[in-house]
Structures are given as C-alpha cells and as structure tokens.
Chain A
Amino acid sequence: DAGVIQSPRHEVTEMGQEVTLRCKPISGHNSLFWYRQTMMRGLELLIYFNNNVPIDDSGMPEDRFSAKMPNASFSTLKIQPSEPRDSAVYFCASSWGQYNEQFFGPGTRLTVL
C-alpha cells in the first residue's frame, strides 16, 4: 500500500486566494483526520471523518476553513480566503476506527504571503 497520499506537498499562495489540500487515505481505513502543525501551537486536530461523515469539526478555526469527504478514498480541506496566519503544515491521517493507530501522510506545507 502506498500509505496516505497528500497533495500538493508544498503550496505558496497570496493572501485572499483559495487553497485546496487533498488527501487519499489508506484503502480500507474508515476514519480520516486533518491536522495542522505550527511552531506556536504544535499539532492540532481540525476535523475528523468516520465512514465519510464529519464527526467533529470543532477544531476548524473559522468559517474560512471547510472539509469534505465525498467518498472513502478522497478528502479535501479548503481555505477561502487564505490569510498569512494559515501558514502551517497540514497533515492528513487515516485509521481503521477512530480509536486505532493513525497513519499520517507526508503533509502539505502551506505558505500564504
């Protein structure tokens, strides 16, 4: 298995632009998690899905952030409009069941200028 796949690996954009991050979980996993990592706040859970349904999105910082999981093999995290404070590394992880070991993707390093 290729593991969790994220794209793009790096994204540089200007303030106000829409940013879409993509994640393909490990085949067969039914839980998917989006995390954000910054120097100031460390790793934070933004949202997680179980069987494609959003279970908890209380970590989403504000309405500019949205996430979807249209099917078991694909999820997106969208920021519109982006702001410089959104600059961070965004990780996607998947697991079989939300209480089990999570497998992380390589992350997307987002820089908003």
Chain B
Amino acid sequence: KNEVEQSPQNLTAQEGEFITINCSYSVGISALHWLQQHPGGGIVSLFMLSSGKKKHGRLIATINIQEKHSSLHITASHPRDSAVYICAVPPATDKLIFGTGTRLQVFP
C-alpha cells in the first residue's frame, strides 16, 4: 500500500464545476503539500498546510490530521486549471513522499 494515495486518478469536468481531489496518507506528518504540474511540465507549489484550511483565489485546501486526509477544492473551474495535482507529505525522515497525482481536465 502506498504511503500517500490520491483519488481520483483522472478527473474531467465542465467549466464552472466544483472540483474535489482527495489525498490520504498513512505516515505521521508535520505538514502536507499540494503541488500543481502544468501540461508543459513545470511544478508549482500551491499550498503547504498543517491544520485547518487555506484559501488562495479559487483554490481551497483542507487537512484533517487525525483522519490523515486532505482535500483540494477548486471552485468555478476553468480550462486553465487543467493540470496534474500532486499531494506530498514529509514523514519523520523529512523526505517528501509524493502521491501519484490526479490528472484534471476542464472542458469549456
């Protein structure tokens, strides 16, 4: 079993839809990262959070440390949100462990 699991693996949506991507992990962590990888390959850090909720524009990330679960939400999705979304956790060894990613396609 992977230490970091994401669901779904692939997601398609119509422009304007509300998107939820889930991340579950099995290790103890101090924080969780959400990354976005664009079709061109570049990786951007979206959030790093250790509790509660963070919001940036149309993106919202939540984490429940007790349940070892985090969600990334996109409100009013847009075709430019099409990307791979990756969650990553640093367990006690400090090395980031990455989920396999969720490939999101938003159609106009």
**A residues engaging B (CB < 8 A)?**
33, 42-45, 48, 55-56, 58-59, 89, 91, 93, 98-104, 106-107, 109
Contact = CB atoms under 8 A, between A and B. Distances in A.
A100 B86 contact: no
Secondary structure of the A side of the interface? strand
Contact of B101 (A42, A99, A102, A103): A42
B33 interface: yes
A59 B94 CA distance: 12
A50 B33 CA distance: 19
B48 interface: yes
B76 interface: no
Nearest to B86: A43
A107 B101 contact: no
A99 B30 contact: yes
Question: Contact residue range for chain B?
Answer: 20 to 34
A100 B43 contact: no
B11 interface: no
Contacts of A58: 95
Interface of B: 30-31, 33, 35, 41-45, 48, 86, 88, 90, 93-96, 98-101
A102 B46 CA distance: 10
B45 A101 contact: yes
Contact of B96 (A45, A55, A103): A45
A102 B33 contact: yes
B100 A42 contact: yes
Which of B35, B96, B99 is the most central at the interface, judged by chain A CB atoms within 10 Å of its CB? B96
A104 B86 contact: no
Given A42-B100, A45-B95, A91 B31 contact: no
A56 B43 CA distance: 22
Given A43-B88, A102-B33, 11 more contacts: A42-B86, A43-B86, A44-B98, A45-B95, A48-B94, A48-B95, A91-B43, A102-B45, A104-B42, A106-B42, A107-B42
Given A42-B100, A99-B31, A101-B33, A56 B48 contact: no
